[in-house]
Amino acid sequence: MIQGNNRGGTTGTVVSVVILIVFTVIMFYVLKGFWAFATLFAWVFLIVAAIANYKVIVDYVKNTFSLLKRNPLYGVGAIAFSVFLYPIVFFILMMRALFGRMAKSAGFDLGQQVQREQETFVEYEVLEEKNLELREMEKKNRERR
């Protein structure tokens, strides 16, 4: 049986629990503030996303309805997620649109990159397989030494 160190007593455990509680309370208020901020500016996020790159919104709607057709349970879940957590969804759409715009202005066009990779062909050469036994390989290695 594994025995722990009994020198510290319960002080380490109490300190750990207090730190965990303080961290949880701080995270609660941070997330509460973010939720209030996101709820207040949710429609602004959607408008900014539409101005920056409206295709992000269109792709999101297409993917959601595509998921509804492929797997109805997940599709209904995605729609419910979008309805109840719309401030977070709008914030994520805005960030994707702005990131795509920044990447495009930096010279990275992700959509064309994928299309170029699909159209290129790589030359290859068919190699013949030779069945080599382990003893033959060992002989060749010994001869090289």
Q: How many CB atoms lie within 10 A of CB 51?
A: 12
DSSP state of 106: T
User: Is the per-residue pLDDT at 5 higher than 80?
Assistant: no
pLDDT at 113: 53
Token pair 């805005």 is at which residue? 94
Which residues, in sequence order, are CB contacts of 117 under 8 Å at separation 6+? Answer: none
The predicted model scores a pTM of: 0.61
Return the amino acid letter for 133.
E
When the pLDDT of each residue in the chain is averaged and rounded to a whole number, the result is 84
Q: Which two tokens stand for residue 33?
A: 């503030």
47-90 tens-digit pLDDT = 999 999 999 999 999 999 999 999 999 999 999 999 999 999 99
Rounded CA gap, 7 and 21, in Å? 25
111 in helix, strand or coil?
helix
Domain limits, the chain: 10-38, 41-120
